[in-house]
Chains A and B, each alone.
Chain A
Amino acid sequence: MTYSVLIVDDSKLARMAVAKALNALYPDWTRIEATNADEALVLARQSLPDIALLDFNMPGRDGLDLAGDFRGMSTDMPIAVISANLQQEVVNKAGDVGASFLPKPLTQEALGEFLRDAVARLTAASK
């Protein structure tokens, strides 16, 4: 089973870093990239990604806001908010919308752990 992953980050370098890790872990999966929350919502409505990886700190609406929108669209979608800002408020808000929190700079190990869990949840939800 392959999945599609939406990567949202205003930094091209950060998207490339996520893409590299994702490609090493799951080369067959589809990648969709957006540079901000508005673009991400348009893309998400068109192509319904299975998993979302969202940068927290973006111009315009932040990744937590966007995670809330995605949660409204799908109760099952595994969502991760990625940030170097480990403040309790941010981590708590991520938890409130049922999103995981991954530290930046993102490591392949941290992404791999989140995605293994995501696959398990998606598999369970489809049964």
Chain B
Amino acid sequence: VSPPKTALDELELDALTELVNIGVSKAALSLREMVNEQVILSVPELRLLSRNEAIAILTAQEAGRLVAVHQVFEGDINGRVLLIFPETKSLELVRAVTGGELPLEDIIELEQEALAETGNIILNGCLATIANQLQRTLKMSLPEILRGAGHEFFELDPPPVAGDVVMFLYINFAMKKRDIQGYIVMLMDLPSLAALKELLAEYIQRTTGEGMPSHDLSR
């Protein structure tokens, strides 16, 4: 199934990318408090894809096992969001967050907790910024760590009833002289995408004072 490419127009995608960047910048500030050193987080690109396209891209780029921090969100928009790293990078991430002085066994022991905490800061930073700027409330579940091949993260229960769409984002993570690239994947159903489009149109109008909010003519 082809993704609804026209679902968000260019300016709506731009607005969403900007909101996510503001969100990860705020998350970087929280992480900086945690590691006491500058943290650089950026999301250079956001793409709207079908589930199959997202799986194809992720598995083509990351052949090995992956680790993900997973959270479910509910509100005007419902879905799930995952921060995904190659499993080989996750210990590096934990080292960066914990200071890098710890022996390997401690790092392995702390990995789960540190990943959940870091992921929670980044994902909450994104979603809270999106929700605040769109003037809506989103309820987030606690973070959960998942491990597996890329496609497994797209087949979590319960499966979406009303079709689904994937926001696919690259996230660059630099701290303590380490550069780690990961992915943020946001899965939502089509009614949520429609709600998001409407909220983005309102946000764009508030922000720029131009244009009219878009209306779904099919309703």
At the interface, yes or no: B102 with Cβ under 8 Å from chain A? Answer: no
At the interface, yes or no: A104 with Cβ under 8 Å from chain B? Answer: yes
Residues of chain B within 8 A of A12, CB atoms compared: 10-11, 14
CA distance A52 to B92 in the complex (A): 38
At the interface, yes or no: B131 with Cβ under 8 Å from chain A? Answer: no
A59 touches B29 (CB 8 A): no
8 Å CB contact of B204 from A13, A83, A89: A13
At the interface, yes or no: A20 with Cβ under 8 Å from chain B? Answer: yes
Residues of chain B within 8 A of A19, CB atoms compared: 208
Residues of chain A within 8 A of B42, CB atoms compared: 57
Distance between B87 CB and nearest chain A CB, rounded to angstroms: 28
A87 with B18: in contact, given A13-B204, A13-B208, A16-B210 (CB under 8 Å)?
no
At the interface, yes or no: B199 with Cβ under 8 Å from chain A? Answer: no
At the interface, yes or no: B133 with Cβ under 8 Å from chain A? Answer: yes
Q: How many residues of B contact A (CB 8 A)?
A: 25
Whose C-beta in chain B lies nearest to the C-beta of A60?
A: B44
At the interface, yes or no: A42 with Cβ under 8 Å from chain B? Answer: no
A86 with B11: in contact, given A17-B208, A105-B22 (CB under 8 Å)?
no
User: 30 A-B pairs, CB-CB below 8 angstroms?
Assistant: A11-B14, A11-B15, A11-B17, A11-B21, A12-B10, A12-B11, A13-B14, A13-B15, A13-B204, A13-B207, A13-B208, A14-B18, A16-B207, A17-B207, A17-B208, A19-B208, A20-B209, A57-B21, A57-B42, A84-B25, A84-B29, A84-B129, A85-B26, A87-B28, A87-B32, A87-B38, A88-B32, A104-B25, A105-B22, A105-B133
Interface residues of B (CB under 8 A from A): 10-11, 14-15, 17-18, 21-23, 25-26, 28-29, 32, 38-39, 42, 44, 129, 133, 204, 207-210
